[in-house]
Structure 1
């Protein structure tokens, strides 16, 4: 179901981007900048969602060393 929703959303997004490219000449400059920024951010979020389960930054060894210290600090706060 998630993939189906993503497929439908991507198709609708592509239709909107194509419509934006075709009609952007009639828009004011500031509106073009805002719309383009939102579309670029949306594309960036789509790309980020594809890698949400992958470990992009290998910080597990850092967190393993830091965990006992954080646990002691939390215990001191309580």
Structure 2
């Protein structure tokens, strides 16, 4: 008895193609974080508050970048 074979999945893109995109997203997020930190410190905030605001900005920007990639992939699937 032969087992049914599964069709070959669509050719997967190389895993290495994600590396430049992730680096670009991280660099963009870092620029945003530095900008927020500098603006916060110019506004009279202390170092801990500026670093915390920059870290928050980094996390939010990175999350938005990753969400945008997911949304585009889902829209292309339809």
**TM-score, normalised to structure 2's length?**
0.39
Compute the TM-score of the two structures, normalised by the length of structure 1: 0.39
Structure with bigger gyration radius: 1
Which structure has more helix as a fraction of its residues? 1
Per chain length, whose mean CA-contact separation is higher, i.e. which structure has more relative contact order (CA < 8 Å, sep 6+)?
2
